Every structure is written in structure tokens, then in C-alpha cells.
Structure 1
Amino acid sequence: MKPRPPADASMVRSYHFRSRRRPVWSHRIFIFPLASLVLCLCALAMSGWLRWGGSSAVVVAVDLSGSTYNAEPEQFNQPGTLSYQAIAAVDRYLDRFAESAENDNTVRAMGFAAEVVPLTDEFSSNIDEVRSQLHRRLAEESLPAEVLPNSTNLNLALKWGIERLKEEPNRRRELVIVTDGEVEIADYFIDRAREENVTLHAMSVGRDVRALREAVGETGGMYRFGEGDRIDAFFQESFFFSQLYGPLWAIVWGAGVLISFVWLLTLPLDRWLFQNRFRWSMNRAGRVAVSHSCFWTMLIFTVAIKLVLNVF
């Protein structure tokens, strides 16, 4: 049964006005926040919220083929060689992890050429222990021969790294690679990396390797190429990418989601709560609803800025 209009004249006018109003979802003040909410949710998903949330598990893969030490075993990891520059850069990379506010990150290292050899025993958040294991392994005279240094098999390195990262299910998974080889990468391993949410970061020393660049792009990672003196900068940039860049965008898009949702509620609060339930006038209800949205927008924005500053 359709309710009767109220008897009072002013209330009659208000009743008929409200009965003729457009639905909430047909107003721009509802449509625009709704569109913004959908956009921010999609961007948040694409920026890798699930991948970037929490701490990291990182496998550092260093090319130990003969070309990294002039194919002279006695020059392995000696100053002036590419292998020495790479290991020194890994050391400084570990320093950054040790200094980071999020100290629950875990790291593991491997060397590769035609074969893969682990350079540390397991994933560990104890950076001093990781460094100690790394240098003990590098000091072993048999290491260059173990990797079979006459060729570079990056597919095997990818397989090993992805399999090890599967042991760390509740972390961001990243495989950081340094190589000087002209490598080929099977599509299978790129697909496996995507399936396991493994982000590849890679530096090609001396040349731009298209296959490596495309593989990194497929997983949303960072690719660089240049001379050996760029390796240290590459590791620092990859640390920034994983520890700062990802969370930064998660904060930005997360704040966008919350602000959009707050403004999405403005018209429903105005009509359904303040006017219909509390019986406030349209002017009063509108002012309170907009003030409510402005307050929460400023609060969310302030918190987001503080979080961004904490990240940096």
C-alpha cells in the first residue's frame, strides 16, 4: 500500500519533492567516486598489493662463468674482475637489507654458469650469517670448477631460484640476477615465475640482452644493462624497487580506494541517514555529509603522507 502524504503543508511539499528526486546512483557525486573506487582497486591489484605486502624473500644469482674472471681460475673473485665487482655489490646489497626497518627479509645466494651452486645454505634474515656463509663458499678453491664455467645456463638458474623461492610462501618473492652472458630464456620459466609470483630483477653487463629484458618485463621487475661499475648501482636500485617502490604505490592506491569510498558514501548519508532517518533539512544534511567526507579525506591523506615518509 502506498503511504499517504503528511497533512502539514510544508511537509507535503517536502514529501512530494523527495518522491520526485532522482535515484542516488544517477548523480555525479555518486558516479564519479564509484568510478574512482573501481579504478583505484584495479590499480592496487595491478601494482601487486599481494606481492608487495609483507617482507621479502630474495635469491641473489651471480654469474660465475669464466668470462667474469678472464677464464683464469686464479683470478676468480680478485680485484679488477667482474666476479669481484659482483660479489662486492652483493655485500653492499646485504648491508642495505641489514639496515632496513623491515628486518624480517630473508636472503639466499647462488652462483651459476653451466651448473648452479648454492653460495649460502638456506634463506635467512640473519644478514651476518648470510655474509659469512657467502664468503666461506667463495673462498673454496673448487668453486669455479663446480659451476662448469665454460657456458652460462640462465634457464637452470631460473629453475633453481624459483624452486627455492617456493619455500617462502608468505613473502614477496624476488630473484636478482647479474650476468654478462648472451643468454636465451625459455618461455616456460617466465611462465613459472609469473605463476609463483616471482619478480625478476636483472642486470646484463656489457650488452643489452633482449631476452633478459623481456623476461624481466613480463614479471614486473627492473632491468638494467651497462659496464661492471654499474653493478653496485643496480643492486641499490633493485633494493629500492622491492622495498620502497612497490609499497609506495600500494600506499598511494590504497589511500585512493579509501578516499573514493568515503566520497561514495556522501549522497547515501545525506539522503538515507540524515534526511530520511534524522529528518534534517536538505541544507543541513548536505553540509554535514560533505564535511564528513572532507574530514576523512584529510585524515586518510595525512596518514598516507606519514606512511610514505616512513617508507623513505
Structure 2
Amino acid sequence: MKKLQLTIYSDDITKVKSFSISKGLLTLLSFLELGIILSLFLFIFLFAQDKVDQRQLISLKESNQYLKERMKGLECMLDSMNLRLKQINEQDKKIRKLEGMSLISDEFRKLGTGGVPYYDTTFISTDFELFELNNRLLTKLEKVKRCLNFEVKSYDEIYNLVIVKQDIYDNTPSILPAYGRFSDRYGYRIHPIYHRRMFHNGFDIAGNKGDPIYVTADGEVVKVAYSRGLGRYIKIKHGYGYSTVYGHLNKALVRRGDKVKKGQIIAEMGRSGIATGTHLHYEVHYYGRSRNPFPYFYKQKSSIKVAKKYILSLNK
């Protein structure tokens, strides 16, 4: 076996040392040295990696803590929203009562806003506190969402009723057609000219020639004409089955086809036709049948009843 001869000289030439190292041992020592160097590098790498992992772990913990704080903040906001929704619920009851609407029972409201708790497993294996907080937050968020949707539907129902109610009121005779003395009422009477018992299907208001005549509801002029009995008269068609007639006029200030608004002056008082004096003959008709005009002189919006069919037509 080949050997490597190693000779060491000192200043004293008499002291010379020689060593013989086999090639196999030298190879072994070389591998040993390489192993030590590699081990050193591996140790340095693992040590550095551990430091990086620790920093990442610290950063992750800080992020988790920040996330928890943010989620708790959102939970407080949801609790506040839920409290506000309860206040809106109380206002909803008051408005429904004020408008004569049926109240939504607490039992029905619970059925409309109930639900099951959320179960999301996102953080279950990493942070149980975060897992619980996340599910609590999602449950409250879903509840607020359902309550909000329920209140929006209730609001739409109230809004539609108010809109329809206002429209019905605008089209319902509800003010005096003229100012003056009530000279003859609705119903049977002894006719002042024919002197026999006849049905008077209107209401008479006496005044002076030229006094303003007011339309008592929104509508459209469907007739401006002259007849032997009523003299010069105007007929106006309103919505929801109503129509009104204004007779014995001196002058009409509107024409057929005109759109008119409640309170608008449409004519002047006179005594045209069969009349004993200057007055307005005023009629109210509902789906073609005459009604006593007197209850319509001071009709309030609160007295208006809204049929369900009108609400349903708005929701389509």
C-alpha cells in the first residue's frame, strides 16, 4: 500500500521527524474534514431557519391578536346595529298603529328573522379562541342581515300603503266646494219650485254671483255642459270610483279634458237653470251612486281606508 512520507525539520538538523500516512487514512481524514464543514453549514442553516420561523411565529401571533381585536370591534358594531334594528322595530309598530295597519307579532317576527348558529372550521385547528369569535361574529352578522331584510319588507309595505293612501285621499272629495250658507241638504225634501216631495241628490250652498267654486279632489274634467235643471254645470271624474258635479254655475273656468287639482278654482257661482237664487248645487258620486256630500266636506286623511287590492297592485 502506498504511503505518504511526511518529514518535519527544525533548526537543529539533528532533530528530524518523519511520519508515514497511508493514502486511505488521508482520504478518510479528507472526508471527515468535509463532513465537519457540511455539518457546520447545516447547523448554521437550521439555526438561521429557526430564527426565521420564530420571527414568523411572532408575526403570526401579532396578526392573530390584531385580527381578534378587529373582529371584536366588528362584533360591537353588530351589537349596536342589532339594538338600532330593535328601535326601528318599535317605530314600525307605532307607524303601523298610526296608519291603522295590522301589527307584526313578536312570534311572527322571530320566525322571519330566526336561524341556526354558524359553524365555520377555518380556525379550529390553529386558534380556538379565534374559531369561537369567528363563528359568533358570523352568526350575529347573519342575524342582522335577516332582521334588516325583514324590516325592509315591512318598510316597503308601510311605504306602499302611505303612497296609496295619499293618492286615494287626493282623489277623494274632502273639502268645501264653496263658502256660503248651507241652503238645502241631501235627501227627500219639498221641491221649492215643483212643490212636491222629491229626492235631492246633492247639497246646496248659497252665496253671491261670481263666488269661486273649488274642485274638491284631483281629477279630470269629463263634461262642461248645460241642462234645463242644473243649468251650466261641470262634471269631474276622480280616481277610485269618485266623481263630482257642480251645478247652477255662472261661468265655467275649465274645459273638458283638463286635469285639475284639489282646491283649484274651476267656476263661478250663479243661478243658471231651475234655481230660486244664487247657489251651488254639489253632488258626490261613488261608482255611479250618489252619496251625501256633507261627510266629505271635512274628510280627514286618517279616515281613508285602503283596500288590500291597491297595495297588491303596487307590489307587482
Q: TM-score, normalised by structure 1?
A: 0.28
Indicate the structure with greater helix content: 1
Choose between structure 1 and 2 for higher RCO, CA contacts under 8 A separated by at least 6 residues. Answer: 1
Which structure's residues are more often strand, by fraction?
A: 2
